[in-house]
């Protein structure tokens, strides 16, 4: 069997299955629906709520489960199941594909009833193409995403179900679906050598919504402070694409009327990321940009020692953002903005 590309290290892998055989086999437990192996693919014939579970358990409630399909049919809803206790109690992620949208849902089944914890849609057509998708689940985080964007949707503190040590796959629609890969791995919360889910601050996962508290000084000291709501975004929709550890983006209007400038007001754009030039002492990065009115555009790393994680407070000083001063009564070039990221 092939090793899943989503596994950080071979020692982290609990199970990998590429279905290169004629029957489902004893390592899977068919709970509902109609499952079989067809041309070396795991097939479910089109039964809403069909479930198949891996027999092997994990050591605790930390899961990194991934699956792939060779071809997405219209209307398909793939499910990746984790924290499985029994047929009526587990967590799962849904990946619904239409000709115009991808929708991901984080869901929980308790007592046989499903509830949606979080949902998000993207305007993209992935029908007719191969896709990979997966779930990361621990006591601290429940996330779902795709191969190149593994953290597209998540919640913190998902409240795991007691004794839920199994994972599996499911069908969420009356559409025939197939899987050609499945992997189940340990997580950082179980094994320090394994992968983790979502950007963390000293092992505390960051939520999908953050706040940037912006205060102005020196040449912009007359501008009013502003709070910018930062939302986690899919990397291909961001001004700085391709950041897999997590990226947040937001804008707000700044009032600089006390500067008596004809350019007032202007829009401030902030992008926040995990990781900063490989410096473990400054593990967070920020980009600050205006709407083109002032021509301001700068990046900064978090201060050395300038952050706490619980409660979250990550501080930045943005230097050299604007060439010269825009308020004649103000002076100084030690930085025009101070920004604090909080939850």
Note whether 135 and 216 are same-domain residues: no
DSSP one-letter string for 35-67: EEESSSSEEE-S-TTEEEEESSPPSSS-EEEEE
Long-range contacts from 255-263, C-beta under 8 angstroms, 24+ separation: 255/223, 255/224, 255/226, 256/216, 256/220, 256/222, 256/223, 256/224, 256/326, 256/327, 258/222, 258/223, 258/327, 259/220, 259/222, 259/223, 259/326, 259/327, 261/326, 261/327, 263/293, 263/294, 263/326
5 assigned to some structural domain: no
d(C-alpha 291, C-alpha 264), whole Å: 12
Q: The whole model's pTM is what?
A: 0.81
Note whether 176 and 126 are same-domain residues: yes
Q: What percent of the chain has pLDDT over 90?
A: 50
Residue among 167, 144, 20 at smallest CA distance from 77: 144
Task: Kindly tell me if the per-residue pLDDT of 244 is higher than 70.
Answer: no
* 121-155 per-position pLDDT tens digit: 989 999 999 999 999 998 888 999 987 666 788 99
Note whether 166 and 298 are same-domain residues: no
pLDDT at 1: 33
Q: Is 328 exposed, middle or buried, given 0-12, 13-18 or 19+ CB atoms closer than 10 A?
A: exposed
1 assigned to some structural domain: no
Q: Print the domain residue range for 57.
A: 10-197
Domain end point (choices 197, 225, 251): 197
285 assigned to some structural domain: yes
Q: Which of 19-23, 177-181, 281-285, 294-298 has the lowest mean pLDDT?
A: 294-298
198 and 244 Cβ atoms separated by less than 8 Å: no
Note whether 182 and 43 are same-domain residues: yes
Residue among 160, 179, 157 at smallest CA distance from 168: 179
Domain end point (choices 197, 232, 247): 197
Task: Kindly tell me if the per-residue pLDDT of 240 is higher than 50.
Answer: no
Task: Kindly tell me if the per-residue pLDDT of 294 is higher than 70.
Answer: no
168 assigned to some structural domain: yes
d(C-alpha 149, C-alpha 186), whole Å: 19
Q: What percent of the chain has pLDDT over 70?
A: 83
Note whether 208 and 250 are same-domain residues: yes
pLDDT higher for 168 or 5? 168
pLDDT at 236: 43
pLDDT at 197: 73
Q: How much is the mean pLDDT over the chain?
A: 84
DSSP letter, residue 185: E
Domain end point (choices 174, 197, 220): 197
* 72-117 per-position pLDDT tens digit: 999 999 999 999 999 999 999 999 999 999 999 999 999 999 999 9
Number of domains the chain is built from: 2
Task: Kindly tell me if the per-residue pLDDT of 50 is higher than 90.
Answer: yes
Task: Give phi and psi for 133, each to the nearest 5.
Answer: -155, 160
214 and 339 Cβ atoms separated by less than 8 Å: yes
pLDDT category of residue 330 using cuts at 50, 70 and 90: very low
Average pLDDT of 295-308? Answer: 81
d(C-alpha 62, C-alpha 299), whole Å: 35
Note whether 134 and 209 are same-domain residues: no
Alpha carbon distances (Å) from 69 to 95, 105, 133, 177: 12, 18, 9, 8
């Amino acid at each position: 069997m092939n090793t899943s590309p989503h596994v950080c290290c071979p020692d982290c892998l609990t199970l990998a299955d590429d279905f290169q055989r004629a029957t489902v086999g004893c390592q899977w437990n068919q709970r509902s629906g109609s499952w079989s192996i067809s041309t070396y693919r795991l097939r479910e014939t089109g039964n809403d709520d069909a479930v198949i579970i891996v027999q092997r358990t994990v050591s605790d409630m930390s899961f990194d489960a991934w699956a792939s399909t060779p071809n997405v049919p219209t209307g398909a809803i793939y499910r990746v199941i984790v924290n499985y206790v029994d047929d009526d109690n587990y967590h799962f992620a849904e990946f619904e594909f239409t000709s115009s949208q991808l929708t991901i849902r984080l869901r929980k089944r308790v007592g046989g009833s499903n509830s949606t914890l979080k949902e998000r849609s993207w305007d993209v057509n992935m029908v007719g193409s191969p896709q990979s998708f997966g779930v990361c689940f621990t006591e601290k985080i429940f996330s779902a995403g795709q191969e190149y964007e593994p953290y597209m949707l998540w919640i913190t503190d998902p409240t795991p179900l007691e004794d839920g040590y199994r994972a599996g796959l499911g069908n969420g629609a009356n559409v025939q679906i197939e899987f050609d890969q499945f992997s189940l791995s340990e997580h950082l919360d179980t094994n320090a050598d394994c992968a983790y889910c979502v950007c963390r601050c000293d092992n505390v996962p960051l939520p999908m919504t953050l706040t940037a508290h912006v205060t102005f000084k020196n040449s912009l000291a007359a501008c009013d402070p502003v709070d910018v709501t930062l939302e986690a975004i899919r990397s291909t929709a961001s001004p700085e694409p391709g950041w897999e550890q997590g990226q947040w983006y937001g804008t707000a209007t700044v009032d600089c009327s006390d500067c008596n400038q004809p350019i007032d007001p202007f829009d401030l754009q902030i992008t926040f990321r995990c990781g900063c030039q490989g410096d473990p002492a400054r593990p967070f990065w920020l980009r600050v940009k205006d709407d083109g009115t002032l021509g301001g555009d700068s990046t900064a790393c978090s201060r050395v020692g300038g952050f706490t994680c619980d409660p979250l407070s990550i501080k930045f000083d943005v230097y050299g953002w604007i060439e010269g001063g825009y308020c004649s009564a103000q002076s100084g070039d030690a930085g025009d903005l101070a920004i604090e990221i909080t939850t």
